[in-house]
Amino acid sequence: MTSDRSKNLIGSRLAKARKAGGLTQHDLSRKVSAFTPIDRSGIAKIETGLRCVYDYELVAIAKVLAVEVGWLLTGRKSR
């Protein structure tokens, strides 16, 4: 669960998936930018809960990390 002050639900799972894939924040931002502009700072702010995530960014992040959008949002896999 996120803190009450977090601006998104995906921050910790994003960081976990990024690290599991061996990507730096810069690597991820470069790959996601093929779909929608986002810089390394934006990724860092999402991971720490300081930035909201737009739905189209969420889809792009999930695609790049090869994870389900639902997992990023809830931590659970789809049935």
Rounded Cα distance between 31 and 27, Å, is 6
| CA dist 45 → 11, 29, 78 (Å) | 8, 12, 27
Instruction: Please tell me the predicted confidence (pLDDT) of residue 3.
Output: 60
pLDDT tens readout for residues 27-69: 999 999 999 999 999 999 999 999 999 999 999 999 999 999 9
Look up the CATH number of domain 11-72. Answer: 1.10.260.40
CA 40, 19, 31, 51 torsion-angle sign? negative
Q: Report how far Cα 69 is from the mean position of its chain's Cα atoms.
A: 9
Question: What are the boundaries of each domain within the chain?
Answer: 11-72
